[in-house]
Chains A and B, each alone.
Chain A
Amino acid sequence: MNGEPDRAGKAAGIEPFVSVEHIVKRFTTADGSLVAVDDVSFSVARGEFVSLIGPSGCGKSTLFNIIGGLLADYDGAIRVGGEAIRGTHGEIGMVFQEESTFPWRNVLENVAFPLEIAGVPKGERHERARHFIDLVGLGGFERRQPSELSGGMRQRVAIARTLAAAPQILLMDEPFAALDEQTRLLLGDKVLQIQQTLRQTTLLITHNITEAVQLSDRIIVMTYRPGRVKRIVDIDLPRPRTSAVVSSTAFGRHVAEIWNDLREEASRGMRDDERQLRGGAER
């Protein structure tokens, strides 16, 4: 377990594949300048599953948008395979927290969307889409409309769609947040399965500690605003993460440790909110 922000990758000698370097993001609000992300650096090795966890207001959604390329105005650099990128990039696939399937397309057309954009002919793109639909366990649902599916199934469609673009890095922003606990667990398992099969480099943004420990190789813990890397935790638990692993003491220790970190940050956040409210009331 590391206490220092880790810049060189998981173990000495492994090339970082994605490198997030000294990201600083400021927003101008009505009350002045707000620093959402303050000098955040970390890296993800090829095939690694890394989670980014932090209290509300730590800037993790901002980081999601920056790494994904939806925000291009920031200080610092993002490198993929050594090359610097800024703005949306085909190498980075994004899965959003909200409902993001196209309601006017059926499952097959939804998943085939990135291939359609790239100009892949119909027959081929439908075949490739079917492969990913099977991968997320929705085989047989190709002709269904999203309105006929449950929330969890729709998120699976969104994941399949992003994977269909064959991105080098899969970036997910709390994709299971809108789902109930059971669906969450099952979907988490599914995503892990897929990630292991494809050896997909994955960065997951979440606020759920158990989920993060269950799925990740490493966890980056963020501070409350302005967001910095508080600590990076190596999750050296064996794979596959069976229920035996999940109920082990080692697992519990990781969870407790991160919980302590987050509690510290979350209470700072609450004190901050209270101070703001009190200040507002006095005005």
Chain B
Amino acid sequence: MNSSQWGPSALGLGTAVATAAVLEALIRGGAINAYIVPLPSQVVLAFERVLVEENVVHRFLLTTAETLVAGALITVVGIGLGVLLHRFRLIRAACETWVAAFASAPVVLMYPLFLVIFGRSATTIVMMGFVAALPPVILKTLEGLAGTRPVLIDVGRSFSVTRSQMFWKIMLPAALPTVFVGLRLGLIFAMINIVGVEFLINFGGLGQLINELAERYDLPGTYAAIGFVVLVSVLFFYVTERIERWLRPA
């Protein structure tokens, strides 16, 4: 059992390290222009420099705060709209396809519009994350409520529960696992769009860091910063996955 786990991981890691080593050799040898692809060793050094000099902790907190605010908004508005759409069948029949269509549209392209409305500020960033992340939360909430096992509804009816009791004590708890999937998807979308917009409008936390380093032509720094942001988002994805799995038995 253990050997079958070690093998693939070693291959994956080994390939990454080997690629870096090959790159290093090629660049030092002049086969690849060092002004286009910096030496991996320099990128590693720049990592430490960037972390120390560029106020990374503060930036990280800013991006995280923006994401959490967007997350709070999609929780309240997204679940609320999902519940509303489920409650009023006619409105659901009318609007559900619209929400799905909106989910497939390039929403983040509206950021210049938000720039005009909210200015170059954290509000623009948060609003962009909110709007982009809303559809999956609404759709998953709807899916969860609509997918309640009919026998559980029958149990409620056999005990003559009121409409409110049916919703709060049966439908919502039954839907919660699916709702959490939606919230996790929404949070991920929000983070991705928030970091992206920070980069594009050159304002904010981690996304802005990359933009700044690129404009300074600090090649190793830019690569290091991109690597750091990718690491942060991978961590974010992993943590939300863990939390969702932990909440699942509920």
Contact = CB atoms under 8 A, between A and B. Distances in A.
Interface in A78-116: 88-90, 92-94, 96, 98-100, 102-105, 113-114, 116
The DSSP consensus for interface residues of chain B is helix
A117 interface: yes
A193 B132 CA distance: 60
A104 B176 contact: yes
Contact of B249 (A116, A147, A162): A147
A70 interface: yes
B165 A96 contact: no
Contacts of A88: 157-160
B176 A102 contact: no
A59 interface: no
B147 interface: no
B161 A117 contact: yes
Interface residues of B, number: 18
B144 to A, nearest CB: 12
Nearest to B157: A88
Interface in A49-74: 68-70
A11 to B, nearest CB: 31
B21 interface: no
A165 B174 contact: no
Contact of B250 (A94, A104, A117): A104
Contacts of A89: 160
Nearest to B165: A117
Categorize the interface residue count of chain A. 20 to 34
Contacts of A100: 151-152, 154-155
Given A104-B174, A117-B165, A90 B160 contact: yes
B192 interface: no
B249 A145 contact: yes
A100 B170 CA distance: 12
B173 interface: yes
Interface in B155-171: 155, 157-161, 165, 169-170
Contacts of B169: 113, 116-117
Interface in B226-250: 249-250
Contacts of B173: 102, 104-105
Given A96-B151, A145-B249, A102 B170 contact: yes
Contacts of B249: 145, 147
A217 B173 CA distance: 41
A89 B157 CA distance: 9
A241 B24 CA distance: 85
A30 to B, nearest CB: 21
Contacts of B250: 104
A93 B158 CA distance: 7
Contacts of A113: 159, 169
Contact of A102 (B152, B158, B160): B152
Given A70-B158, A88-B158, A100-B151, 15 more contacts: A70-B154, A88-B157, A88-B159, A96-B151, A96-B155, A100-B152, A100-B155, A102-B155, A102-B173, A104-B173, A114-B159, A116-B169, A117-B160, A147-B249, A162-B158
Interface of A: 68-70, 88-90, 92-94, 96, 98-100, 102-105, 113-114, 116-117, 145, 147, 162, 165
8 contacts: A70-B154, A94-B154, A94-B155, A96-B151, A104-B173, A104-B176, A113-B169, A117-B165
